[in-house]
Amino acid sequence: METQILKKDQLDTAVEFLRKGELVAFPTETVYGLGALATDERAVKAVYAAKGRPSDNPLIVTVSDAAMMSRFAREVPDRAKKLIDSFWPGPLTILLFVKPGSLPEAVTGGLDTVAFRCPDDSLTHELIAKLGEPIVGPSANTSTKPSPTTAQHVFHDLKGKIAAIVDGGQTEIGLESTIVDLSVKTPIVLRPGEITPEALQKVLGETVLMNNGQAQTSGVPKAPGMKYRHYAPAAPVFIVDHPEDFKQIKFDDQTAFVALDDVLSRLPNKIQSFSLGKNTDEAAHRLFEALRYFDDRPQVKQIYVQGFTHGKICAAYMNRLNKAAGGHHLEPRVR
Chain positions contacting ligand AMP, by CB under 6 A:
57-60, 95, 108, 111, 113-115, 138-139, 176, 179, 190, 222-225
Distance of CA 174 to the CA centre of its chain: 8
Q: Which is nearer to ligand AMP, 140 or 256 (CB)?
A: 140
Cβ atoms 273, 240 nearer than 8 A: no
Cβ atoms 92, 30 nearer than 8 A: no
Q: Which is nearer to ligand AMP, 225 or 307 (CB)?
A: 225
Q: Which is nearer to ligand AMP, 35 or 307 (CB)?
A: 35
The minimum distance between CB 190 and ligand AMP, in angstroms, equals 6
SS3 51: helix
In whole angstroms, give the CA distance from residue 188 to residue 197: 8
- Residue 185: phi and psi, rounded to 5, are -60, -50
Q: Which is nearer to ligand AMP, 13 or 216 (CB)?
A: 216
In whole angstroms, give the CA distance from residue 98 to residue 103: 8
The minimum distance between CB 23 and ligand AMP, in angstroms, equals 14
The minimum distance between CB 157 and ligand AMP, in angstroms, equals 13
Q: Which is nearer to ligand AMP, 141 or 255 (CB)?
A: 141
The minimum distance between CB 137 and ligand AMP, in angstroms, equals 6
Q: Which is nearer to Mg ion, 54 or 332 (CB)?
A: 54
The minimum distance between CB 168 and Mg ion, in angstroms, equals 18
What are the CA-CA distances from residue 235 to residues 245, 255, 256, 293 (Å)?
Answer: 20, 10, 10, 11
Point out the residue whose Cβ comes nearest to ligand AMP.
Answer: 225
139 near Mg ion, rule: CB under 5 A = yes
- Residue 193: phi and psi, rounded to 5, are -150, -160
> Which amino acid does the sequence have at 314?
C
Q: Which does 113 bind (CB under 5 to 8 A by kind): Mg ion, ligand AMP, none?
A: ligand AMP
Q: Which does 233 bind (CB under 5 to 8 A by kind): Mg ion, ligand AMP, none?
A: none
149 near Mg ion, rule: CB under 5 A = no
Point out the residue whose Cβ comes nearest to Mg ion.
Answer: 139
Q: Which is nearer to ligand AMP, 117 or 286 (CB)?
A: 117
In whole angstroms, give the CA distance from residue 41 to residue 130: 20
The minimum distance between CB 127 and ligand AMP, in angstroms, equals 17
| Span from 12-20, 134-142, 242-250, 315-323 in contact with Mg ion (CB under 5 A) | 134-142
In whole angstroms, give the CA distance from residue 330 to residue 81: 44
Q: Which does 148 bind (CB under 5 to 8 A by kind): Mg ion, ligand AMP, none?
A: none
Task: Please name which of 176, 143, 138 lies closest in space to residue 31, comparing C-alpha atoms.
Answer: 176
In whole angstroms, give the CA distance from residue 211 to residue 236: 26
- Residue 301: phi and psi, rounded to 5, are -110, -10
Q: Which does 273 bind (CB under 5 to 8 A by kind): Mg ion, ligand AMP, none?
A: none
Buried b / exposed e along 228-240 (16+ C-beta atoms within 10 A): eebbbbebebbbb
The minimum distance between CB 95 and ligand AMP, in angstroms, equals 5
The minimum distance between CB 58 and ligand AMP, in angstroms, equals 4
What is the four-CA torsion angle of 179, 193, 138, 237, rounded to 10 degrees? -130
Which parts of this chain interact with Mg ion (CB under 5 A)?
Answer: 139
